[in-house]
Amino acid sequence: MPQSKPRGGAASSKDSKYDLGKISARVDRVHVSGLLRTHNDYVMRAADGLFKADNFQDVMLEAMSTKAYLHELGIFKDVSVHIDVSRGADASPQGYEVTFKGNEYSRMMGSAGTEVGQNEGSLRTELTVPNILGRGESISLQGSYSNTRANDLQLKFWKPFFHTRFRENRPEFSFSIFRQTDRFDISSFQSTNVGYLIDFSAHSSLGVDLTHSLQYENSIRNVGLLNKSVPFGIREHCGPKLASLVRYSVVFDNRDANVFATRGILLKSTNEYCGLGGNVAYTSSTAHGEVNVPLFSGFVAQFCGRVGIVKETKQTTLLPISSLFYCGGPMTLRGFKYGGAGPVVDGTPIGAQTYWCTGAHLWAPLPFAGVFKSLASNFRTHFFYNIGNTNTFSLENMRSAFGMGLAFKFADRARIEINYCIPVRRQATDKVLNGFQFGIGYEFI
């Protein structure tokens, strides 16, 4: 699909042999080849930046960013770039032709792998039909199975709007139908959710870069028991309920890496309002923050914090037990069992209406990291100190623990930790874990 720009206005400059920025250049034509099923207008904006380049360095950089953009469109398996001197009758003196050779995704793609969830791994299989209608629309069917969790299923349709004039905002729309089971083993119940979710997400860059996501969820939540002897306070919640909720979340992230960041801040907030029809009503807000400060010779200080509140609304009869917060466990308060630092009913831990917890870390590279550089970059050691509490914001009766451990970066997104934990302050009903604790997940405190 050739694009061309009218002649004229070619920049001329004083050549310097080594400074590419001083070599004047002008892009005459941009080809994007390999579009079999994709409509031409979907990649039309790919070349916007390229035509603005007026020296060779810009051309190179823009070509790279265009390549990244083409990848993001979700139609190509791989893209290669060719930059050549422009030829032909209407070629300008410093004209170049840029060709992107794309290789489109096949009609159907299958994959199998492992997934990292709330401190557990599971087997996941996925079947994707990419780019059905020629503008990036895709459908995927995802199923996952783990020994601790029942089968989950998700059928998702999504459509990116990266090709529109809101390209910078990365708008994306998705609709999914899901069946998902959350097991709360510590409280001996599970919640099976069946429903659909409509999601619209976009970036905004008014001063700061934020990622917004607005969701509407309509689902049937069926609470069932995992055990015969369950406190009545939990048994009361059994049975199906219809939840209808809007969820808004916003993320600010300027860290330099997802897992082992050395500098930068992550702020994330999620607000839910449930009660637009259905018979479940509550509001819920959580906020998560992470600050990384580089110190000397690879050492990093990290401070994390998280707060969550669930509140009744006017229509609430009973707060849903599956929306309460569990504090404790390798992702929140190390040194405690999962959900083990919170209120209990008849000896069984139950979620809390509010909770907060914070953590301070000192991250260090492995000793002798220089010897096995590629391997060692996936590992870090850390010392940590966690403080947290549930159902109160005072420092009275708080829980705390400290310890040290080894963390491993898994698939560039998840973190696996093994820590030796020593709980310092605890309550009589808490379930502590004094010793080694294993954790796997995306978001830690």
Partner 1 sequence: MPSVLLSQLATANKLSVEPWPEDATLYQPYEVEQILLPENASCLAVKAYLKMCNLPFDVRTCANAEHMSPGGRMTKLPFIRAGAFIFAEFEPIVNFVEQKEMAIGNLQDEDEKADMRTYVSLVENIFTMAELYISFKNERVYKEVTAPRNGSVYPWPMNHMQNYGKRRNALRLLKVYQWNDLDIENVIEKVAKCCETLEYKLKESPDTPFFYGEQPCELDAIAFGHLFSILTTTLPNMALAQTVQKFKHLVEFCRFIDDKYFQTSFVPC
List contacts with partner 1 (CB under 8 A). Answer: 220, 223-224, 227-229, 232, 235-236, 238-240, 242, 277-279, 346
Pick 246 or 267: Cβ nearer partner 1 = 246
Nearest to partner 1 of 60, 220 (CB atom) = 220
CB of 277 to partner 1, least distance (A): 6
Report which DSSP code applies to 105.
P
| Three-class secondary structure of residue 60 per DSSP | helix
Cβ 218 to partner 1 shortest distance, Å = 9
Q: Which of 350, 357, 305, 358 is nearest to 326 (CA)?
A: 350
CB of 345 to partner 1, least distance (A): 12
Please, what is the minimum distance in Å from the beta carbon of residue 324 to partner 1? Answer: 18
Of 58 and 182, CB closest to partner 1: 182
Residue in this structure with the two tokens 């793609």, named with its chain if needed? 109
Q: Alpha-carbon torsion 347, 348, 352, 355, what sign? A: positive
Residues 420, 101 contacting (CB under 8 angstroms):
no
> What is the number of helices (H) and of strands (E) in the chain?
4, 22
- C-beta closer to partner 1: residue 17 or 228: 228
HEC secondary structure over 133-173: CCCCCEEEEEEEEECCEEEEEEEEEEEECCCCCCHHHCCEE
Decide: 433 and 336 in contact? Cβ < 8 Å.
yes
Closest approach, Cβ 191 to partner 1, in A, equals: 13
Q: Which is nearer to partner 1, 223 or 341 (CB)?
A: 223
Nearest approach, Cβ of residue 181 and partner 1 (Å): 16
- The owner of tokens 């993001």 is 72
Alpha-carbon distance of 139 to 155, in angstroms, equals 7
For residue 47, is it left (φ>0), alpha (ψ between -120 and 50) or beta? Answer: alpha
By beta-carbon proximity to partner 1, the closer residue of 243 and 300 is 243
* φ, ψ for residue 13, nearest 5 deg: -150, 165
222 vs 258 by CB, closer to partner 1:
222
The minimum distance between CB 236 and partner 1, in angstroms, equals: 7
| Spatial separation of the C-alpha atoms in residues 437 and 124, rounded to whole Å | 25
Between 67 and 221, CB nearer to partner 1: 221
Of the pair 257, 276, the CB lying nearest partner 1 is at: 276
Q: Can you tell me whether residue 51 is helix, strand or coil? A: helix
What residues are paired with 336 via a beta bridge?
A: 432
Rounded CA-CA distance 50/256 in Å is 27
Least separation in angstroms between CB 424 and partner 1: 33
Nearer to partner 1, 60 or 194 (CB): 194
CA 159 – CA 139 distance, rounded (Å): 9
Please state the closest distance from residue 188 (CB atom) to partner 1, in A: 10
* Rounded Cα–Cα distance for residues 361 and 302 (Å): 5
Pairwise CA distance, residues 413 & 268, whole Å = 16
| Least distance CB 238 / partner 1 (angstroms) | 4
Q: Say if CB 2 and CB 68 are below 8 A apart.
A: no
